[in-house]
Every structure is written in structure tokens, then in C-alpha cells.
């Protein structure tokens, strides 16, 4: 008998939530997954096996669920609109709920809860990077054009603080209404989500939405693609538009507002961060900023833009050690850059900077080339 | 309308389609007590012959003068039952359908609710049927000619069939030659017939047929009128070549300053042509055309010291002063056979089609493997460094098909088989090649298709179950990143060439044809047929029919079959010489019409116009309906400020009691 949509019976929570029955087992997810070259993860198998409710506990115990870098390739490639990685994250949630996580993960999550950052640093020193700088602070209730969201990793990591410091130096030369949040700024929750701590993530969304809305910002400018992506995807009640800083700078260089001081006579290859590229579709703006830097010759990886290779920096990988002895993807990336003859691998994400720089040092190429954030490069060519 | 209504009411079980959720006996019993209902019965299938006989017998023996059938949608069987009552001498419009299937049993699960609603629907039909007026349908003459838009294999086949039956055919093609996509193909699956060899004779037949007028390099600009009486305006674009003088010798193309410098559309961008060109050697008509977008003379007004083509043409056929020409004619029916576009592979950037010259599409492969193609049939590709004969070849299926991420959820129905065919042809040309076909499912559903797929596999074409996710470069090789899903093994296969089995998409410019002929699109964006099963070549516009891939992806056998179907349907009005005009059309009360023109602006069929009438010495405007164009949709009635325009059978006085009965019955 012909009827409308047949009601699904006897399916578990995963089946409907992740549309498991929509899967045609084509393998584009696993086929595209960048970590398959060095880890046992086969995300298609998880989509297939998660249909069986009784098997979920067993699946959650498999170590490879922690190999996913949440680069989103599986979701972008899926012809049926599934998000295979979300199945892995839901399994991680089951582990987190049972409390059987690695101590590093536990400590990171606890630190977010207590101090608002995953790096086990006191909230009180979140703005130490501002020392010696004249930073305009935003105030709740006072409208501001551009509200900057720094990111925990950039705020606390001494290697990365230069990104924020350069930003302030350049902003102060421009006629731009801006403000920083200060020590109240709290983790965006991107990595909390990928580590499977759903409850804490929800709490962060609630608290951060309230905090960010209090500033009445026209737009929020995120330093990290991770904060940028998570705000745009998981913060439905945010009142301000959220952009990545490369989008702001694309506007600024387009309007010829950047006071260039010198030249950067270098061959630069840009590495697309997954959270800016594959997750958000921002490919052109960072390139256009780099191209405008006087002297820069911009190169391209063969695997660039939609085919870019993940650096393995996200998905909680900062706190879960990989046991694979095979070449890291960041190393592959550095070797590719060297083969291209690049002097600089430019990135626009704090995690990419850490992983690629680590790989470069591990390979011993420090004499020949370097990894730099776009903001670092801008700092070198904008007048003091 | 003099007789008192005597209504016969028939409730259909439709097997269990209705009776599972509607208590049909209870509905009949209830109806028995409604005013003017003389007899109420149930039957398992009212549309069957015994079902219809039941109605006829009651009309005869019980003197019924109104009939209600409570069954499926009127779109299904209204015609069936009208015919049945007419055969017993009743006016066919004294019939009303209560839709208790689509509007009731199929949308309810609970028998009590379903039955209650069926009763309401029946009561409202009773309220209306009493008030119906007798209508007469009229007939008009049909022009014994057909217009066919698009001269690929679908248009060609339909043209030949109609012309052979003795009717005039105008075959309009936008490019300089007829032949379409089929002319570009090398061999055809599964029989491996040479595509050109089986197509060319048909092309020539079209050109020489006394009943076919070819209008190539032309575009339909205007369509007016209605089934049986369409007036068509076609723009024949200037070719800048006098086709009566051109002998097709080709000296002009050899002489052209841009010889071998313009990208050849026919060779899918892999070959070159001149600015004056014939798309391919077997083109029909075998005449040259100057491409106005590239020709130096036409773009810059000068070509060296003088156009070389003009110098080379012995026949004096070149004419840079030539203008577009408008041709006007009348036809009784139209067939749309506008074909398809292939999926643009650059929309899946992960496959690197825009990055690597050795990643090609299936259509490009057709030209590459063809002996009349740009390489004379030699399989050679440029790998970024050098030209090579590929020894490791990957075919990727479902590129742009079955893929929600590019908005194409449908299967393109030809890629599985053209891939198998191309794998076979490559095996013939490069016997030691490693050929891999990456697939999700193999759909070999046609006659001889599975057998052909079996044969190709046994020719050592390796089928790997997994749809590749990415292509990148490693040295001189392309890497296909894929999972073999049968062994759950992620692979990075290194190959020399990748063939993307791109799917079929609706024509990018289909909107123009849609607007011209008031056609609609189905969910897959192809032209929508009137009914997916029972009226597969008809459209919502009477007298306009569909053939080939413009209606949905299909292979050559299905295209030809559909073209023959469309030709047969189009010939119905041509052969009978008459078309029946729908009787349920809008009618204007000219005494109250204020001539505001709102109805004219909302009519989706352009069926209404304002005319000037003289009333008691005053000139004033009123609306007038062209009954041949009116579909009785009622849009006009809904906006009329003075209730002056109303569709027959759907007048306010007929449908308001019907609506009241729906709300008032418990």
C-alpha cells in the first residue's frame, strides 16, 4: 500500500541523529580521510557499525576514535550529506561521560571549566601578552565596530603571543574602531566539543553568548579559525557577525590602508587550515593578503584549497598523543613546501603554526625555511 | 436542469488503498440519506469495466441524471467516468469526483478519522453535483505540421517519424549542424556500433526528406496560440555564408587566419578549428558558418588586407553583410528535444579537473578515443611534463550524480555503461594497460547491458568498489585517494590518467524554453512530464511534448523510444485534424465586467485579453477569454473585483455550497 514517509522503528539514537541509514557505503569519507595513511581509523566502518546499538560501547573503546583530527573532509565529501566525524565525536562523548579519558584530556577540560582555557593557566594572566602595549579595551554596553577574540592558545603560548601583539600594533596605526575583551575572554569550546565534553561545551556556548552579546559589537574578529568556525556553527544566538582576521585584513589591504614599511623578498606558500578552508570555505582572503605584501612571491601546494592536507593539530590532538610511528602529515607538508622551494610556510591558525613548526624542527630544516603566521609576516613589513 | 437531480453515488474500495482506512460501506450508507441521492453503492475497483458497467446500468434503469464517484484523484480517472456517463446519454460534466484516496485514505491512519473525512468529502460532492450545468466541448481545426526544438537523436527520430507519416516538420537546431551529442560519441554500448555510422544516415534522411524543413543555427523566439494552432517565430542567425552557394569544400577554413586556433566545441575543447568552420566532417547541412565571436572581420571589422576566406571561396558564398532572418510558420504540435549538459567537473574540486590535464571527462574521452577525434584515436595525454600513452588508467563513476553536495540526487543512467564501453575501447587500444574502474554500484539495467559488463570485467578491467575522494600529484603520477570498501582498505593508487564519468544535467539555458512554452521542472530540474508513468511524453501544456534527455537522463535506446512516443502523441491532433477544447473554461459576464484587467495580469496561460465593446452607444473595455488557451484554473476568478469572471463548473454558486458542506457535516 502506498503511503507517505514510512516511520522508522527500532533504530537507536545514533541512527536518526547521524542519518546512518542515508549512507550508501561509497567510501568517500574514508577515502578522503587524511589520517588513514598513518592510523587505523576507518570512519566509514563506524558509520556502518554504529547502526547496531549493542555495539556502541565496544566502538567507544576503540583507540582509533581519537585519531580523528576533525578536519571535516569526510563531511565535505559525503554525497549524501552525512557528517561521519560526528559519529566519532559522539563515541568520544560516551567515553568522557564514563570518565575513562586520558589524564591530559581530563586536565585540559578541567582547566577550561575552572580557568576558561585548556592550557592550565590562571585566568588572571590571560592578558599578560598586552604588557607594554596600548590596547583599547571593549566595554559592555558600549557599541564597538570590531571586537577581537584572541583565542586561549594565542593568549597564553609565548610563541604565539606575537600574533596578538602585532595585531594591536597595526590596529593602532589605523583609523579603526576596535576593542579587546580582556581576562573575561573564555575558551570558545571548539576543542572541548571535539574532545567529546558535550555538557561543558553547552555551558560555554551559553556563557560566551551572554558575554559576547554584552559588548554590542558590529562584528567579532576571531584570531583562530577554530573560534571563528565554532561561533558561526554552534552559537545560534550570537548577535554579531563573526569573521576571521584574514577577512578583515583582506578588506584593509583592498582599501590600501596598510602602511607598508619594507619588503618581504620571499617565496611564501600558504597552508590552508581545515577550519578556515574545508569547514568555512575561506580560501581567497588569506592568499590575497599575502599577495599584497610587497616582495612576496606566492606559491601553491599541489594539495591546496579544497584538497589541502590537514596538519593534525585539531580534534583534541593537542592532548591525545598519536601512537603511530609513520610520518606525520605536518612533516609531509613541510617536505612538500621544501620541494616547492618555499622560504616561508604561511599559516593563519595557531594549531597549524605549532604542528608545522614542530615538524620543521624535527626534520632539521630551520636553516632553510620557516613557518610563520600571516600576522607575524605583516608585523615585519608594516611601519613601526 | 429541468429535471430534479437523481444522484447515483459510487464508493470505490480501490483494493485496500481506500478500504483499509475508510469504512466504505458506512460512507455509502451515510450518503444514501443525503438529499437527492437515489442510489449509493460500493465496489472494489470502480474504474474497472464491471465498475463502470454498474454506473451505466443504474443510469439506464434508475434514471440517474447526476453521478458521483468517490475514489481517487480526478487527475486519475475523471476522464474515464465522464466517458462512461456520456455513453449513457448523460452530459459528461454531470459527474463529480470525491477524492477519498489521495485526500483521505492515504493521509489518514485511523479508520474512524478516515471514514469521517470521507463522509464530508462525499457530502460536499453531493452539494455541488446538484448545481452543475451541462457543458459542451468544442472542436477547432489543427494545423497538420509539427515543430521540433533540438536536433539530436531525439529530435531527429521524432522528425523522421512525423515526416514519414506525411506531416510537415520544422526541425530547429541552435548549432550549425544537426546530430547533437550522439554525433560526438565514438561507439555505442552495448553493441559497439559506431555512433556516427548509425546516426549519419538518419541525419542525411532529415536533410533530404521532402516533409522536413531544417532550420539550423536557429532559435525559436516566439510561440503563440494553443494546441493545433501554434504560431512560431524562429530566428535564423546569420552564418555569413550563403548556404545556397556554399559547396562545403572547406577551402575557406584552410585559408582562415585563425585556422587551428579556435577551441572546437565538438571536440570538447581538445581540438582546434578555424573561425569559419563546419563542426564535424559529416555535418548536416554540410555548409560552413562564420563564428561571429572569433572572426577578425566580424569582431574588428578587418582581417589583414582582406578576409582570406572570401579569397579562397570559389563559389563566392562568403557574405559579411548577411543579417539574421525571422521565419514564421504555424504548427499543430511541438516536441521539445533540447537534450542535456554534461556535469561541469570543476564543481568537484577534489578531483583536480581544473588542475591536471590528464584528468579528463567521459565526454572528452569519447573524442580522444574517436578515430575522427583530435588525436585520430590515439590515446595520448599530457601529464604536466610530457605527452604519454597512459598505462595506468582510473575511471571514477558517479561524478556529479547521486551527489547531494552538488545538488544532483539522481542517477545519470548512462555513466556505468559508457565507462564500461570506454574501458573496453582502451583495452583494445592499449592491451597492456592497467585499467581500474572505481564504483559505488554498477547499474547495468538495459537489454544486453549486464552481459556487456560481464565481458568488460573479463577483459581484465579491475572494478574496485569505492568512490574516490581526492586526486593529487606525486611526481609524474596522479594519486587516486580511495577506499576499497570491500576490504576496508584505504588506497593511494598511482595512475597516468583519470577519466571522470560525469553525469547529465539539465541545459543551463532551459529557462528560455520553459518560458516560451510554459513548461515546468521536476525535482531533478529536468522538464516535467504530465505524469511520470502514464503521460511520460506529455507536458502540462497541451500540444507540447518531450523527448530525450531534456526530460531526464537516458541512454540512446530509451531516447529513441521516447522520441517515437512523443512523435506518436504529437501526431494525434495532426492526424485527426481537430483538437477538442476543454469545456470547463472561464466565462465573463460582460454586463458586470469593469474591464480593470486584473484577470489579464494573473492568467498564467495568457488566455484573457481586454476587448472594446459598444454598449448602448458607449465604448468600454471588457475581458474576453480565449477558450482554447484557458485551462479553467480559476486564477482570474480569485482576483476579479466584481465576480464577473468565473470558470464553468467552478462558479461561486457551485463551489460555495460544496465548501459549506465540508465544514458543516459531522
Residue B60, classed as helix, strand or coil, is: helix
Q: Name residue, grid cell 569559419.
A: B276
Pairing of strands B340-342, B504-506: antiparallel
Q: Which residues is B169 bridged to in the sheet?
A: B146, B212
Residue B455 lies in a domain: yes
Query: Which domain CATH number covers B92?
Result: 3.40.50
pLDDT digits (tens, 9 = 90+) for B214-237: 999 999 999 998 899 999 999 999
Q: Name residue, grid cell 550522439.
A: B182
Answer yes or no: do A79 and B484 touch at CB < 8 A: no
| Integer Cα distance of B426 and B440 in angstroms | 21
pLDDT digits (tens, 9 = 90+) for A303-323: 999 999 999 999 999 999 888
Average pLDDT, whole number, for chain B? 95
| Integer Cα distance of B134 and A306 in angstroms | 66
Residue B240, classed as helix, strand or coil, is: coil
Joined together, the cell numbers standing for residue B646 give 468565473
pLDDT digits (tens, 9 = 90+) for A200-251: 999 999 999 999 999 999 999 999 999 999 999 999 999 999 999 999 999 9
| Integer Cα distance of B482 and B2 in angstroms | 78
Answer yes or no: do B485 and A44 touch at CB < 8 A: yes
Instruction: Classify residue B284 by its DSSP letter.
Output: B
pLDDT digits (tens, 9 = 90+) for B125-155: 999 999 999 999 889 899 999 999 999 999 9
Residue B161 lies in a domain: yes
Nearest CA to A379 among A185, A161, A226?
A: A161
Cβ B223 vs Cβ B234: under 8 Å: no
Across the range B409-437, mean pLDDT stands at 98
Nearest CA in chain B to A76: B405
Q: How far is C-alpha A138 from the geometric centre of its chain's CA atoms?
A: 24
pLDDT at B631: 87
Answer yes or no: do A27 and B465 touch at CB < 8 A: yes
Q: Are residues B547 and B484 in the same domain?
A: no
Average pLDDT, whole number, for chain A? 95
Cβ B161 vs Cβ B204: under 8 Å: no
Residue B319 lies in a domain: no
Q: CA–CA distance from B418 to each of A63, B271, B352, B463 (Å)?
A: 43, 22, 21, 14
Chain B contact for A323, CB < 8 A? no
Using pLDDT thresholds of 50, 70 and 90, give the confidence band for residue A4. Answer: very low
Q: Name residue, grid cell 561521560.
A: A97
Answer yes or no: do A31 and B17 touch at CB < 8 A: no
By Cβ distance, the residue of B107, B403, B483 closest to A79 is B403
| Domains in chain A with CATH codes | 13-97 (1.10.1060.10), 104-251 (3.40.50), 260-381 (3.40.50.10700)
Q: Are residues B639 and B607 in the same domain?
A: yes
Using pLDDT thresholds of 50, 70 and 90, give the confidence band for residue A9. Answer: low
pLDDT at B501: 98
Percent with pLDDT over 70 in chain A:
97
pLDDT at B382 over 80: yes
Across the range A269-288, mean pLDDT stands at 98
pLDDT at A2: 38
Cβ A144 vs Cβ A217: under 8 Å: yes
Nearest CA to B589 among B622, B619, B635?
A: B622
Q: Name residue, grid cell 566545441.
A: B265
CB pairs under 8 A between A and B: 92
Across the range B590-601, mean pLDDT stands at 94
Across the range B531-535, mean pLDDT stands at 91
By Cβ distance, the residue of A3, A302, A307 closest to B106 is A3
Q: Are residues B541 and B501 in the same domain?
A: no
Give A-chain residues touching B358 at CB under 8 angstroms: none
Residue B544, classed as helix, strand or coil, is: strand
Across the range B82-94, mean pLDDT stands at 95
Q: Are residues B21 and B45 in the same domain?
A: yes
Distance from CA of B177 to the nearest CA of A (A): 37
pLDDT digits (tens, 9 = 90+) for A86-97: 999 999 999 999
Q: Are residues B34 and B114 in the same domain?
A: yes
Percent with pLDDT over 70 in chain B:
99
> Residue A158: CB partners within 8 Å, gap ≥ 6?
none
| Integer Cα distance of B489 and B477 in angstroms | 21
Across the range A105-130, mean pLDDT stands at 97
Q: Are residues B329 and B193 in the same domain?
A: yes
The answer to whether the bond into B190 is cis (omega within 30° of 0) is yes
Nearest CA to A138 among A227, A240, A232?
A: A240
Residue B654 lies in a domain: no
Residue B666 lies in a domain: no
Listed residues B484, B505, B526: the one ending a domain: B505
pLDDT at B606: 86
pLDDT at A1: 34
Nearest CA to B272 among B180, B373, B364?
A: B373
Considering only CA atoms, give the Rg of chain B.
31
pLDDT at B503: 98
Q: Are residues B354 and B457 in the same domain?
A: yes
| Integer Cα distance of B224 and B607 in angstroms | 11
Cβ B599 vs Cβ B639: under 8 Å: yes
Answer yes or no: do B466 and A73 touch at CB < 8 A: no
The answer to whether the bond into B285 is cis (omega within 30° of 0) is yes
Residue B121 lies in a domain: yes
Q: Are residues B172 and B283 in the same domain?
A: no
Q: How many CB atoms lie within 10 A of CB B502?
A: 29
pLDDT digits (tens, 9 = 90+) for B459-510: 999 999 999 999 999 999 999 999 999 999 999 999 999 999 999 999 999 9
Least confident among A153-157, A323-327, B174-178, B328-332: A323-327
SS (H, E, C) chain A: CCCCCCCCCCCCHHHHHCCHHHCCCCCHHHHHCHHHHCCCCCHHHHHHHCCCHHHHHHHHCCHHHHCCCCCCHHHHHCCCCCCHHHHHHHHHHHHHHHCCCCHHHHHHHHHHHHHCCCCCCCHHHCCHHHCCCCCCECCCCCCEEEEEECCHHHHHCCCCHHHHHHHHHHHCCCCCCEEECCCCCCCCCHHHHHCCCHHHHHHHHHHHHHHHHCCCEEEEEECCHHHHHHHHHHCCCCCCEEEEHHHHHHHHHHCCCCCECCCCCCEEEECCCCCCCCCCCCCHHHHHHHHHCCCCEEECCCCCHHHCCCCCCCCCCCCCCCCCCCCCHHHHHHHHHHHHCCCEEEECCHHHHHHHHHHHHHHCCCCCCEEEEHHHHHHHHECC
Residue B1 lies in a domain: no
Q: Are residues B487 and B391 in the same domain?
A: yes
Number of domains in chain B: 5
Q: What is the largest CA-CA distance in chain B?
A: 95
440-469 of B, contacting A, C-beta below 8 A: 440-441, 465-469
Q: CA–CA distance from B635 to each of A293, B368, B624 (Å)?
A: 61, 54, 15
Q: Where are the beta strands (DSSP E) in B440-488?
A: 461-465, 470-474, 477-484
Q: Are residues B445 and B531 in the same domain?
A: no
pLDDT at A11: 55
In this structure, chain B runs to a length of 666
| Integer Cα distance of B297 and B302 in angstroms | 4
Query: Which domain CATH number covers B449?
Result: 3.50.50.60
> To probe the interface with B, which of A30, A31, A272, A336 has the most B CB atoms within 10 Å?
A31
pLDDT digits (tens, 9 = 90+) for A175-202: 899 999 999 999 999 999 999 999 999 9
Q: Are residues B223 and B276 in the same domain?
A: no
Give B-chain residues touching A31 at CB under 8 angstroms: 466-470, 481-483, 490-491
Chain B contact for A37, CB < 8 A? yes
Q: Name residue, grid cell 547529465.
A: B504
Give A-chain residues touching B352 at CB under 8 angstroms: 307
| Integer Cα distance of B110 and B313 in angstroms | 81
Answer yes or no: do B485 and A27 touch at CB < 8 A: yes
By Cβ distance, the residue of B349, B352, B469 closest to A28 is B469
Q: Are residues B618 and B565 in the same domain?
A: no
Domain span including residue B78: 7-137
| Integer Cα distance of B277 and B176 in angstroms | 9
Residue B579 lies in a domain: no
Answer yes or no: do A4 and B106 touch at CB < 8 A: yes
- What values do phi and psi take at A343, rounded to 5? -85, -30
| Integer Cα distance of B403 and B415 in angstroms | 14
Nearest CA in chain A to B484: A27
Listed residues B454, B482, B505: the one ending a domain: B505
pLDDT at B572 over 90: yes
pLDDT at A162: 97
Amino acid at each position: 500500500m502506498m503511503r507517505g514517509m514510512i516511520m522508522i522503528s527500532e533504530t537507536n539514537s545514533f541512527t536518526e541523529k547521524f542519518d546512518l541509514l542515508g549512507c550508501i557505503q561509497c567510501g568517500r569519507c574514508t577515502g578522503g580521510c587524511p589520517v588513514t595513511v598513518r592510523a587505523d581509523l576507518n570512519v566509514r566502518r563506524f558509520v556502518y557499525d554504529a547502526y547496531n546499538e549493542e555495539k556502541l560501547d565496544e566502538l567507544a573503546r576503540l583507540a582509533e576514535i581519537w585519531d580523528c583530527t576533525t578536519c571535516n573532509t569526510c563531511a565535505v565529501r559525503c554525497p549524501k550529506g552525512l557528517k561521519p566525524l560526528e559519529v566519532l565525536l559522539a563515541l568520544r562523548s560516551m567515553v568522557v561521560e564514563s570518565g575513562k579519558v586520558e589524564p591530559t584530556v581530563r586536565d585540559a577540560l578541567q582547566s577550561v571549566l575552572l580557568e576558561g582555557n585548556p592550557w592550565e593557566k590562571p585566568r588572571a594572566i590571560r592578558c599578560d601578552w598586552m604588557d607594554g602595549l596600548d590596547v583599547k579595551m571593549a566595554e559592555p554596553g558600549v557599541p564597538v565596530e570590531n571586537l577581537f577574540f584572541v583565542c586561549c592558545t594565542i593568549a597564553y603560548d609565548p610563541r604565539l603571543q606575537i600574533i596578538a601583539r602585532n595585531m594591536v600594533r597595526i590596529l593602532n596605526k589605523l583609523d579603526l574602531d576596535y576593542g579587546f575583551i580582556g581576562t573575561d575572554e573564555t575558551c570558545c569550546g571548539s576543542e572541548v566539543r571535539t574532545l567529546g565534553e558535550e555538557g561543558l561545551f553547552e555551558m560555554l556556548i551559553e556563557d560566551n553568548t551572554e558575554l559576547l552579546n554584552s559588548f554590542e559589537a558590529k562584528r567579532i574578529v576571531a584570531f583562530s579559525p577554530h573560534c571563528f568556525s565554532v561561533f558561526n556553527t554552534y552559537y545560534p544566538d550570537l548577535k554579531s557577525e563573526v569573521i576571521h582576521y584574514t577577512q578583515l585584513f583582506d578588506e584593509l589591504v583592498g582599501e590600501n590602508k596598510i602602511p607598508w614599511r619594507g619588503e618581504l623578498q620571499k617565496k611564501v606558500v600558504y597552508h590552508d587550515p581545515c577550519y578556515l578552508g574545508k569547514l568555512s570555505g575561506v580560501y581567497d582572503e588569506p592568499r590575497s593578503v599575502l599577495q599584497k605584501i610587497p616582495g612576496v612571491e606566492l606559491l601553491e601546494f599541489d594539495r591546496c584549497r579544497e584538497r589541502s592536507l590537514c596538519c593534525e593539530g585539531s580534534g583534541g590532538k593537542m592532548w591525545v598523543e598519536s601512537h603511530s610511528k609513520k610520518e606525520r602529515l605536518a612533516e609531509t607538508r613541510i617536505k612538500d613546501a621544501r620541494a616547492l622551494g618555499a622560504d616561508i610556510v604561511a599559516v593563519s591558525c595557531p594549531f597549524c603554526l605549532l604542528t608545522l613548526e614542530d615538524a620543521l624542527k624535527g626534520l632539521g630544516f630551520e636553516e632553510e625555511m620557516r613557518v610563520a603566521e600571516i600576522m607575524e609576516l605583516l608585523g615585519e613589513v608594516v611601519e613601526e | 436542469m429541468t429535471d430534479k437531480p437523481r444522484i447515483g453515488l459510487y464508493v470505490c474500495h480501490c483494493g485496500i488503498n481506500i478500504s483499509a482506512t475508510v469504512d466504505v460501506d458506512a460512507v455509502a450508507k451515510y450518503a444514501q440519506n443525503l438529499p437527492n441521492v437515489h442510489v449509493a453503492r460500493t465496489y472494489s475497483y470502480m474504474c474497472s469495466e464491471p465498475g463502470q458497467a454498474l454506473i451505466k446500468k443504474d443510469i439506464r434503469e434508475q434514471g440517474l441524471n447526476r453521478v458521483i464517484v468517490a475514489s481517487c484523484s480526478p487527475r486519475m480517472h475523471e476522464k474515464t467516468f465522464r466517458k462512461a456517463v456520456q455513453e449513457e446519454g448523460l452530459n459528461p460534466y454531470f459527474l463529480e469526483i470525491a477524492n477519498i484516496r489521495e485526500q483521505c485514505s492515504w493521509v489518514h491512519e485511523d479508520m474512524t478519522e478516515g471514514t469521517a473525512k470521507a463522509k464530508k468529502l462525499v457530502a460536499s460532492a453531493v452539494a455541488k453535483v446538484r448545481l452543475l450545468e451541462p457543458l459542451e466541448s468544442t472542436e477547432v481545426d489543427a494545423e497538420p505540421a509539427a515543430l521540433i526544438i533540438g536536433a539530436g537523436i531525439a529530435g531527429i527520430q521524432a522528425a523522421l517519424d512525423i515526416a514519414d507519416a506525411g506531416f510537415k516538420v520544422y526541425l530547429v537546431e541552435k548549432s550549425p549542424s544537426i546530430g547533437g551529442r550522439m554525433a560526438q560519441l565514438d561507439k555505442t554500448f552495448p553493441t559497439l556500433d559506431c555512433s556516427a555510422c548509425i546516426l549519419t544516415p538518419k541525419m542525411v534522411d532529415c536533410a533530404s526528406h521532402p516533409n522536413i524543413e531544417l532550420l539550423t543555427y536557429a532559435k525559436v523566439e516566439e510561440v503563440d496560440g494553443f494546441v493545433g494552432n501554434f504560431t512560431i517565430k524562429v530566428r535564423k542567425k546569420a552564418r555569413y555564408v550563403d548556404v545556397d552557394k556554399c559547396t562545403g569544400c572547406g577551402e575557406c577554413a584552410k585559408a582562415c587566419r585563425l585556422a587551428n586556433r579556435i577551441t572546437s566545441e565538438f571536440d570538447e575543447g581538445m581540438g582546434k578549428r578555424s573561425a569559419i568552420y563546419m563542426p564535424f566532417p559529416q555535418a548536416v547541412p554540410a555548409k560552413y558558418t562564420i563564428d561571429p565571436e572569433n572572426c577578425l572581420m566580424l569582431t574588428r571589422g578587418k582581417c589583414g588586407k582582406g578576409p582570406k576566406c572570401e579569397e579562397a571561396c570559389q563559389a563566392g558564398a562568403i557574405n559579411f553583410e548577411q543579417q539574421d532572418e525571422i521565419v514564421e510558420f504555424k504548427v499543430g504540435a511541438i516536441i521539445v528535444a533540447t537534450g542535456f549538459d554534461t556535469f561541469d567537473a570543476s564543481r568537484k574540486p577534489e578531483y583536480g579537473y581544473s588542475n591536471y590535464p590528464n584528468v579528463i571527462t567521459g565526454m572528452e574521452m569519447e573524442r580522444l578515443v574517436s578515430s575522427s577525434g583530435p588525436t585520430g584515436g590515439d590515446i595520448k595525454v599530457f601529464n604536466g611534463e610530457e605527452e604519454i600513452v597512459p598505462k595506468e588508467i582510473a575511471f571514477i563513476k558517479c561524478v556529479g550524480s547521486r551527489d547531494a553536495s552538488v545538488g544532483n540526487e539522481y542517477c545519470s543512467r548512462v555513466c556505468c555503461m559508457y565507462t564500461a564501453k570506454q574501458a573496453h575501447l582502451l583495452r583494445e587500444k592499449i592491451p597492456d594497460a592497467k585499467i581500474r574502474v572505481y564504483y559505488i554500484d554498477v547499474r547495468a539495467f538495459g537489454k544486453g547491458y549486464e552481459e556487456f559488463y560481464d565481458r568488460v570485467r573479463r577483459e581484465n578491467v579491475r572494478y574496485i568498489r569505492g568512490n574516490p575522494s581526492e586526486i593529487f600529484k606525486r611526481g609524474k603520477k596522479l594519486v587516486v585517494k580511495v577506499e576499497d570498501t570491500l576490504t576496508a582498505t584505504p588506497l593511494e593508487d598511482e595512475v597516468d590518467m583519470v577519466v571522470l564519468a560525469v553525469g547529465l544535467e539539465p541545459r543551463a539555458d532551459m529557462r528560455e524554453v520553459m518560458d516560451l512554452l510554459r513548461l515546468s521542472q521536476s525535482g531533478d530540474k529536468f522538464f516535467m512530464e504530465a505524469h511520470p508513468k502514464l503521460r511520460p511524453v506529455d507536458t502540462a501544456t497541451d500540444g507540447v511534448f518531450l523527448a530525450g534527455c531534456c526530460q531526464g537522463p537516458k541512454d540512446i535506446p530509451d531516447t529513441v523510444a521516447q522520441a517515437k512516443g512523443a512523435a506518436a502523441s504529437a501526431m494525434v491532433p495532426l492526424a485527426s485534424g481537430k483538437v477538442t477544447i476543454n469545456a470547463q473554461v472561464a466565462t465573463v459576464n460582460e454586463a458586470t465586467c469593469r474591464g480593470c484587467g486584473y484577470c489579464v495580469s494573473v492568467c498564467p496561460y495568457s488566455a484573457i485579453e481586454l476587448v472594446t465593446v459598444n454598449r448602448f452607444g458607449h465604448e468600454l473595455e471588457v475581458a474576453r477569454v480565449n477558450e482554447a488557451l484557458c485551462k479553467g484554473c480559476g486564477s482570474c476568478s480569485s482576483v476579479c473585483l466584481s465576480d464577473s469572471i468565473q470558470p464553468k463548473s467552478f462558479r461561486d454558486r457551485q463551489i460555495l455550497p460544496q465548501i459549506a458542506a465540508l465544514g458543516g457535516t459531522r
